[in-house]
Structure 1
Amino acid sequence: MSLTSLPDECFTGVLFFLDNKSLYKCLFVNRYYCKLSIPLIWRDPFILPTPRQFSLINTLISCLNDDEISSLIPCAINFNNRTPLFKYGKFIRKIDHDYCVRHIISWLNSSSRRSYGRVPTDVSRYQDCRIRKLVNVIYHMIMREGSNIQEFVVIVNWNNFIDLPNFSTFSSFKPGIMNLKSLDIEAYLDLINDSTIYKNTIEFLSKVSRLCNSIINCELCFSRLDNALTNTFLDIIKLQPLERILIDTENYSVNFRPLERILNDTENHSEMENIEKILYALEFRSKTLNELSFRNMDFQIIGLSFLSKLEKLERLEFLECRGFVSKNYDTLSKKGFHLKELKLWHEEEFFYNTRVFNGFGSTLKIMEEIINSLCNESLYKLSLNIIAPETIKAVKESCPNLSFLHIKIFSEQDLDSMITLICEISSLKFLKIEIDHEYYASQLVKTLGDYLNFVEYLFLDFHIDLLSFEYFTKNCRANLKKWIIYIEGEEDLRKDYLKYVNNYQKVHNSLKILGINKGYMCEFDWTNDELEIINSLKDQSINIFPSDELDKC
């Protein structure tokens, strides 16, 4: 069967897996390839612009109709009008507003240089009225051409913010944003002096929840919450069938303060109340919410009882959070959770300077309580950066089916006992370990070599000295299928690391995928001796990749 006899939907599905570089090559194969490649290339055109990248705005301007072109005349915007090959606007599925503005500014700077030799006014200062006009007409054209927007990203973060167009631009055309699936909002209002510069954005956020009915992914990132922004978030949570939510409080000057200062600070206390409103509104998503992530959150005065209402929750993440209090887990312990994945990545600032590490104090006990409250036989993936024998014992007792463990270790304190306990988890198949200092890396690797049995995928995200690496490969009893090795700074010893991997494979005959630190894989500049070992590994059906292609944890 020839490719052209396949239904277009099937062939588009094949092309979907190609990167943009390959898709651009498809444009020159024939008309059929071109017709199916263009919509994929134009799904997400607003990526971070690079210098001299002006073709995007030129192409979008070529799609403007007479009325849109006429609206640019008073602003003296010069461009070469040409007939486009396609209606490119209708193919766009994702808009990143910030990147769109940056592309426009780059294009204006370029056109000014072409017209005047030098730019009389630096457009990058965001004061040029032409930016606003081009934003309006480009959005209007995209909606008018019938685009079906699936993802939208807007970042409000400084006094030169360029606002969204009036909401009528989005509501006047179908489908437009009606079928929006993903909404990413970043609002750092403490960096802005004049609230009028983002009034259209607030209007957009307040009305999008009523125009749309299928937003399933939402990221809410903010540094200061006023009532208007809080109300928009509440409406989105209450009215949309959200399956995934990320809540990120990005302001370190407000967060992570002593409890008494928070309670005595009226403005900050009001913001914490707004955050609580958002969290307790999650109850409206009890039947839909599958994944919930928190980043940079302080839970000193915020209870976690809202979690008990989320019946469908399977993935829960706490990223760089702190302020956990024991009383928050009294109600949770009575709730039967069905989490499949849990990440407890405590804020690390006060864990550094490992040589004077004095333990985690009361935080360790709280982490045990969280594990005991949230984890059970349904959990298969766990990430922790507060590790001690007590937490590992809690994991063993609460998570009998755990198959994936990602940890970060801050000290050699109790290191042997922790690694031994981890190696006793018979269900564990994936193990990733980070460390804060490499001075105890040798001890860790040798202990793994002595006790590792059940793990099939191993990623040690730190440099291992050659002697310890040799010890591990000679003594490890685990039959590794996937293995990422990290050999930073040992270019002259690279052959020896590969030799020990080859020796390991001769004994175990289990390895299928080998990841090598990308620093030495960028150009695959292997010596002849190294290539001989690599070819030997490949002859044993081992695929070799740069490590970053395998590290999806």
Structure 2
Amino acid sequence: MQTSTLFTNEVIIREILKFLKDEDISLYAYLFINKYWLRLTTTLLWKKPFQNLKETKSNSLITTYISCLYAHCHDWLNEEERSMIYFMISSYELSSPFYEYERYLKEIPFKSLNKAVIQWFDHVYGEHDKKAQFTRNIELKLFKMFAKKSICIESIAIDFEVGNFSNIFEGETSKISNLKSLLLSFPPKMNDSYVLKIKNFLRGLQNVLQSLEEVFFLVDETERIEDDSYSYSNSYLIEKTTDEIIAFVNSQKHLKGFNLVGEENVHLNAKRIILPVLRSHVDSLTYLNIDNVDFGQMAFQYFEKCASLESLGMSSCTGLTTQFLNPNTTFPNLKKLELSLNRFNLEMTSLILKKAGENLTELEIDDVSDEILNTIVVHCNKIESLTISGRYFRGNLNLPKLRELKCLKRLELLYVADVHDVPKMERAKSEIKDTVTRLFDPEEFDQFYDMAKEFDYSFVSITFFNQNFQNFYGGSDNNEFDYAQCSLEIKMNNSVDSDQRGDNVYVSHITLKKQRSKIELKFKDLLKKLQDE
């Protein structure tokens, strides 16, 4: 009886599945326990099916969704579409979908949907003179189905590179009501008619969405456009549609989060956007993330007036000034702050930290000068998580000063090294050992480690970048070394990223992490392990 109750109690099953999902354990095995597990697991698996979507998976995904479209929204299709879909269903001997899978979708990345529909069409029909028209119509009708039928859509990402974007909020899709987050991605420069198309879309969007909690505006850097006469900034479209962006953002009733990400190494001139946003949502904003922008000598006081702000991220920014700044005021609720790779002067950075004050619990920063460390220790003494990133801290970090942060639970030091040949395992070990010995002397390490022995505590992370060689140490597999006798864990893993031109960049990460344990680890033990393995 107890077993039966356990395996049929929805509350218990949901909690178990939530835990398994968070632990990144495959949920598919739990589809076969019984009908209760099947139904609840299905709702989880179909919430974000477009994440990390590969071509083989996209074919089956779109097939399932089109089967749902044919089964539940048959009247939306014209005769030709019904005929083509019926051909697909008959050819593959598909039965009606077991669930209304479209009801569980939580996020719609429109570019991923567009790509998946095209890949699906190529797989099912191959070359066909109706491809462009058919895929465009099916894409819009799938979007319409999601908007009308899903009970939990919260986020939509729209890439203006996809030509079909201007039609997605027409008719019944305009009734979508529970959307919380919208991401708009601006591609490199298009012609003037495309600018007008985006402007009209943004104007129309004001009538469709007025209760968003968070908005994202991103400059797409996947391609940089150049011609013989002029080199265009990737920010061209976002700059040309600034008035419409501001009007749309200001139309939101209770906006909590605002994100603006400009072009890397070419700052977006963003003062015209940011100031109106801060003014119109001064009472509601709790989250701000602004990367790769030039504030145009904007005064910091406008951020400080956002009294509800809990998280503020500024990365690779410039142009912020201390003008009109009251040194005696602080953020009342700021808990998380990122200040990395900014071109602010020392006074600006120090004042922001002082205004964050003792409410701050998370900080990411790359400036570790004595003055900044003193400011952190004196004014931000409740910090629990500290990440120090960049090239410049190595050999220049005052570890004894960090020991004055009595609430510190997690310290992460990120050291980036550019490597121009294939790193061998011995070289990797040498890099770790060299970094550790520069960061710590034995007495400092032992004292600092002892202070945080009850916490998960990352103390060194090294990342190698290389554009030429795929076979880094250990090949493509992940390697983990676990030393229970001294509570040390070493993780080595490889991944592949892409640069702005789309070329592969092979990235290797090495992380030394103290496990949560009461077992002592001494500096000499660490060096011995690095030497032996």
Q: Same fold (TM over 0.5)?
A: yes
The answer to whether structure 1 residue 80 and structure 2 residue 89 are counterparts is yes
The alpha-carbon distance between structure 1 residues 3 and 44, as it changes in their structure 2 partners (threshold 3 A), is farther
The alpha-carbon distance between structure 1 residues 426 and 32, as it changes in their structure 2 partners (threshold 3 A), is closer
The alpha-carbon distance between structure 1 residues 251 and 429, as it changes in their structure 2 partners (threshold 3 A), is closer
- 1:135/1:165 contact within 8 Å kept: no
For residue 343 of structure 1, give the secondary structure of its aligned residue in structure 2. Answer: strand
The answer to whether structure 1 residue 343 and structure 2 residue 317 are counterparts is no
The answer to whether structure 1 residue 451 and structure 2 residue 444 are counterparts is yes
The answer to whether structure 1 residue 241 and structure 2 residue 251 are counterparts is no
Mapped to 2, the partners of 1:92 and 1:315 lie a distance apart of 28
The alpha-carbon distance between structure 1 residues 480 and 322, as it changes in their structure 2 partners (threshold 3 A), is farther
In structure 2, what is the equivalent of residue 516 of structure 1? 490
The alpha-carbon distance between structure 1 residues 332 and 516, as it changes in their structure 2 partners (threshold 3 A), is farther
Spell out, residue by residue over 1:86-143, the C-alpha distance to the aligned partner (whole angstroms, 9 max, x if none): 2222222211101101110110110134xxxxx478x9xxx82222111122122223
For residue 122 of structure 2, give the secondary structure of its aligned residue in structure 1. Answer: helix
The alpha-carbon distance between structure 1 residues 409 and 202, as it changes in their structure 2 partners (threshold 3 A), is closer
Mapped to 2, the partners of 1:414 and 1:4 lie a distance apart of 55
The alpha-carbon distance between structure 1 residues 203 and 43, as it changes in their structure 2 partners (threshold 3 A), is farther
Tell me the amino acid that sits aligned with residue 408 of structure 2.
Answer: L
- Output aligned runs, 1:320-331, within 5 Å: 320-325=316-321, 327-328=322-323, 330-331=324-325
Aligned residues: 443
- 1:185/1:221 contact within 8 Å kept: yes
- Output aligned runs, 1:452-467, within 5 Å: 452=445
For residue 156 of structure 2, give the secondary structure of its aligned residue in structure 1. Answer: strand
Q: Which runs of 5+ in 1 are unaligned?
A: 114-118, 256-270, 349-361, 457-475, 506-510, 521-535, 543-553
In structure 1, what is the equivalent of residue 215 of structure 2? 218
- Output aligned runs, 1:211-360, within 5 Å: 211-212=208-209, 214-222=211-219, 223-224=235-236, 225-226=238-239, 228=241, 230-250=243-263, 252-253=265-266, 255=268, 272=270, 275-325=271-321, 327-328=322-323, 330-338=324-332, 339-347=334-342
Mapped to 2, the partners of 1:150 and 1:519 lie a distance apart of 33
Mapped to 1, the partners of 2:163 and 2:204 lie a distance apart of 20
**Deviation at residue 164 of structure 1 after TM alignment:** 4.8
In structure 2, what is the equivalent of residue 390 of structure 1? 371
Q: Which runs of 5+ in 2 are unaligned?
A: 220-234, 418-430, 463-471, 495-514, 522-533
Mapped to 2, the partners of 1:132 and 1:490 lie a distance apart of 45
Higher alpha-carbon deviation: 52-61 or 429-438:
429-438
Spell out, residue by residue over 1:300-341, the C-alpha distance to the aligned partner (whole angstroms, 9 max, x if none): 43332211220111221111223344x34x425243212222
Tell me the amino acid that sits aligned with residue 157 of structure 2.
Answer: V
For residue 340 of structure 2, give the secondary structure of its aligned residue in structure 1. Answer: strand
- 2:246/2:276 contact within 8 Å kept: no
- 1:209/1:240 contact within 8 Å kept: no
Tell me the amino acid that sits aligned with residue 367 of structure 1.
Answer: T
For residue 178 of structure 1, give the secondary structure of its aligned residue in structure 2. Answer: coil
Task: Give the alignment's TM-score, normalised by structure 2.
Answer: 0.71
Mapped to 1, the partners of 2:400 and 2:186 lie a distance apart of 46
The answer to whether structure 1 residue 67 and structure 2 residue 67 are counterparts is no
The alpha-carbon distance between structure 1 residues 164 and 235, as it changes in their structure 2 partners (threshold 3 A), is closer
- 1:155/1:186 contact within 8 Å kept: yes
**Deviation at residue 73 of structure 1 after TM alignment:** 3.4
In structure 2, what is the equivalent of residue 471 of structure 1? none
For residue 286 of structure 1, give the secondary structure of its aligned residue in structure 2. Answer: coil
- Output aligned runs, 1:391-540, within 5 Å: 391-408=372-389, 410-411=391-392, 415=396, 418-436=398-416, 441-447=435-441, 449-452=442-445, 479=453, 481-484=455-458, 502=485, 505=486, 515-519=489-493
The alpha-carbon distance between structure 1 residues 478 and 59, as it changes in their structure 2 partners (threshold 3 A), is closer
Mapped to 2, the partners of 1:278 and 1:24 lie a distance apart of 44
Higher helix proportion, which one? 1
The alpha-carbon distance between structure 1 residues 9 and 108, as it changes in their structure 2 partners (threshold 3 A), is same
- 1:293/1:317 contact within 8 Å kept: yes
Tell me the amino acid that sits aligned with residue 185 of structure 2.
Answer: E
The alpha-carbon distance between structure 1 residues 12 and 408, as it changes in their structure 2 partners (threshold 3 A), is closer
The alpha-carbon distance between structure 1 residues 26 and 165, as it changes in their structure 2 partners (threshold 3 A), is farther
The answer to whether structure 1 residue 192 and structure 2 residue 190 are counterparts is yes
For residue 301 of structure 1, give the secondary structure of its aligned residue in structure 2. Answer: strand
Mapped to 2, the partners of 1:14 and 1:212 lie a distance apart of 35
Greater relative CO (CA pairs within 8 A, separation 6+) = 2
The alpha-carbon distance between structure 1 residues 134 and 490, as it changes in their structure 2 partners (threshold 3 A), is closer
What do you get for the CA RMSD once the two structures are aligned? 3.9
For residue 245 of structure 1, give the secondary structure of its aligned residue in structure 2. Answer: strand
The answer to whether structure 1 residue 128 and structure 2 residue 132 are counterparts is yes
- 1:28/1:34 contact within 8 Å kept: yes
Mapped to 2, the partners of 1:541 and 1:419 lie a distance apart of 19
Higher strand proportion, which one? 2
The alpha-carbon distance between structure 1 residues 539 and 396, as it changes in their structure 2 partners (threshold 3 A), is closer
In structure 2, what is the equivalent of residue 58 of structure 1? 63
The alpha-carbon distance between structure 1 residues 211 and 392, as it changes in their structure 2 partners (threshold 3 A), is same
Mapped to 2, the partners of 1:376 and 1:187 lie a distance apart of 36
The alpha-carbon distance between structure 1 residues 477 and 289, as it changes in their structure 2 partners (threshold 3 A), is closer
- 2:109/2:156 contact within 8 Å kept: yes
